[in-house]
Amino acid sequence: MAKPRIIIVGAGPSGTRAAEACVAAGIRPIVIDEGRRDGGQIYRRQPDNFTRPYEKLYGTEAGRAKALHETFDGLKGAIDYRPETLVWNIAAGQLWTASGTVQEAIPFDALLLCTGATDRLMPVKGWNLAGAYSLGGSQVALKSQAVSIGHKVLFMGSGPLLYLVASQYVEAGADVAAVLDTSPFSARLKALPDLLAMPSVLWNGVALTRTLKRAGVTVQHGVTPVEIMGDVESGVDGVRFRTASGREETIACDAVAMGYHLRPETQLADLARCAFAFDPGTRQWLPERDGDGRASVAGVYLAGDGAKILGARSAEASGRLAALAALVDLGLSVDKGEMASLRGDVANYAKFARGLAKAFPWPVEQAAKLPDDAILCRCEGVTAGDLRVVMRETGAKEANRAKAFSRVGMGRCQGRYCGLAAAELIAAEAGVPVEQVGRLRGQAPVKPLTIAIGEE
């Protein structure tokens, strides 16, 4: 009897641990990775000819990064690893993939979506200028090419990633102009009971702050971004913002890295017909799953930050747990005691994540206050004013209807960067809760394909 075909999408923390569990059970899984190498975003590997030490590249996460890389290296002979391969559709029990100019349809018995996350962004006037990057983009430049995004970089937004990437730039010798955090410091104190669920992770966060202070980097809390300054010819030349006391200030810089924590990559779960539910804590629509990672669709499993933002450590635990659940459903024997232990670990990480959501709140009010001439959707050049006009003229109060009339979220990124902010703006303009606005539906292909693509 043929062994079941298990496909894992993603080779970050959750995908690696899922593959490890499958191999231990005698299964050779297919691991499809959009990246050139394993590690995902947080543990992205540097090129082979780069030799920066783990401690410099990953900071407080160096040990975990090295352990994960070594695990994946040990699995390579036992898995079917397909790097630089995009899963662009899921239909009728099979995946559609593209690698270079070749596409392939691959049937599966169990599908584990370990798709990770991307930056959650709140637009600000001028964020379309050259030199304005997401936090994740600035991190990719540093890890993959060992380059800074500018000579003098300002970090702006909120969430753990803000401090992590700023610290990584400091460790790399970059000139960090300042760290501007939109969340008030008092929010961190209120979130402390939940944050204490993971004292070691909390301490890592404190260590990042200390790294910045030792380097003399100014850190301001409770700020309100007003404008990324500059022009289309020369790009960014500064940031204008209001301090917690309401005073307006400007800091000179030639690059900005911005982000407000993360958002799960859920498009493939959407194409797989998984049910979604609104999560009020993060103000995002997330795919539903049970305590072991089973989605609402039989044979589909969700793990890691692609299901809900719980962090890299939770991703490792939930990836292994989802793989064990898939093995159980396929009739294979697993250690039920280990599954129970992993559930407890994930629950603990979830408590910590609730603390992070409280400590670094999504700045909802900024969407409502976006000036009409501020770009909302960078891909399509749609301004906040354009969307407001569409709403007034058509009465569109639902995300996909507003998209159809305004083209917001219709570009290359398919709403990954503007969708959440657009929903908040629609909700504010219509005077309704953001959950009533709904979510942008996933569309195939989830990312652009070359016109030269053909079948193998």
- E strand map for 202-358: 219-221, 224-231, 235-242, 248-252, 255-260, 262-264, 276-279, 284-287, 300-302
The encoded tokens of residue 230 equal 């500059």
Residues 238 and 280 reside in one and the same domain: no
Residues 140 and 246 reside in one and the same domain: yes
pLDDT at 166: 97
**Enclosing domain of residue 99:** 6-118+263-356
Residues 20 and 91 reside in one and the same domain: yes
DSSP state of 60: G
Final residue of a structural domain among 306, 324, 356: 356
pLDDT at 60: 83
Final residue of a structural domain among 356, 378, 407: 356
Residue 147 CA, distance from chain mean position: 21
Query: Which one, of 120, 118, 129, lies nearest residue 375 by Cα?
Result: 129
The owner of tokens 């609402």 is 296
Residues 176 and 249 reside in one and the same domain: yes
Residues 79 and 184 reside in one and the same domain: no
CB-CB neighbours of 55 under 10 Å: 14
Residues 58 and 98 reside in one and the same domain: yes
Crossing angle, helix 160-171 and helix 135-145, to 10 degrees? 30
pLDDT at 52: 83
pLDDT at 176: 98
Does residue 205 belong to any structural domain of this protein?
Answer: yes
Tally of domains in the chain:
3
User: Looking at the DSSP assignment, which residues form a beta bridge with residue 163?
Assistant: none
Residues 240 and 128 reside in one and the same domain: yes
pLDDT at 59: 81
Segments in 279-363 forming alpha helices (H) = 312-329, 336-359
pLDDT at 1: 54
Query: Which one, of 112, 86, 118, lies nearest residue 100 by Cα?
Result: 86
Report how far residue 187's alpha carbon sits from residue 173's, in angstroms, rounded to the nearest whole number.
Answer: 31
Does residue 444 belong to any structural domain of this protein?
Answer: no
pLDDT at 55: 87
406, 390 in Cβ contact below 8 A?
yes
Per-position pLDDT tens, the chain of length 456: 578 899 999 999 999 999 999 999 999 999 999 999 999 999 999 888 888 888 888 888 899 999 999 999 999 999 999 999 999 999 989 999 999 999 999 999 999 999 999 999 999 999 999 999 999 999 999 988 889 999 999 999 999 999 999 999 999 999 999 999 999 999 999 999 999 999 999 999 999 999 999 999 999 999 999 999 999 999 999 999 999 999 999 999 999 999 999 999 999 999 999 999 999 999 999 999 999 999 999 999 999 999 999 999 999 999 999 999 999 999 999 999 999 999 999 999 999 999 999 999 999 999 999 999 999 999 999 999 999 999 999 999 999 999 999 999 999 999 999 999 999 999 999 999 999 999 999 999 999 998 888 766
Bridging pattern class, strands 132-134 and 255-260 = parallel
SS3 57: helix
pLDDT at 3: 83
User: Looking at the DSSP assignment, which residues form a beta bridge with residue 257?
Assistant: 133, 155
222, 181 in Cβ contact below 8 A?
yes
CA dihedral (167, 72, 342, 327) positive or negative: positive
Does residue 1 belong to any structural domain of this protein?
Answer: no
Crossing angle, helix 160-171 and helix 199-214, to 10 degrees? 50
Task: Say which CATH number the domain at 421 has.
Answer: 1.10.10.1100
pLDDT at 48: 82
Task: Say which CATH number the domain at 253 has.
Answer: 3.50.50.60
The reported pTM is 0.95
User: Looking at the DSSP assignment, which residues form a beta bridge with residue 279?
Assistant: 284
Does residue 447 belong to any structural domain of this protein?
Answer: no
Residues 302 and 391 reside in one and the same domain: no
The CA-based dihedral angle spanning residues 35, 36, 41, 44, taken in that order and rounded to the nearest 10 degrees: 170
Does residue 393 belong to any structural domain of this protein?
Answer: yes
Residues 103 and 205 reside in one and the same domain: no
Does residue 140 belong to any structural domain of this protein?
Answer: yes
Final residue of a structural domain among 235, 260, 285: 260
Residues 237 and 277 reside in one and the same domain: no
Report how far residue 451's alpha carbon sits from residue 101's, in angstroms, rounded to the nearest whole number.
Answer: 8
Residues 255 and 136 reside in one and the same domain: yes
Segments in 131-198 forming alpha helices (H) = 135-145, 160-171, 185-190, 192-195
321, 289 in Cβ contact below 8 A?
no
Does residue 136 belong to any structural domain of this protein?
Answer: yes
CA distances (Å), origin 330, targets 94, 302, 379: 17, 16, 43
The encoded tokens of residue 19 equal 């593959």
Residues 159 and 179 reside in one and the same domain: yes
Does residue 455 belong to any structural domain of this protein?
Answer: no
Report how far residue 195's alpha carbon sits from residue 239's, in angstroms, rounded to the nearest whole number.
Answer: 31
The encoded tokens of residue 449 equal 């394909």
411, 377 in Cβ contact below 8 A?
yes
SS3 311: coil
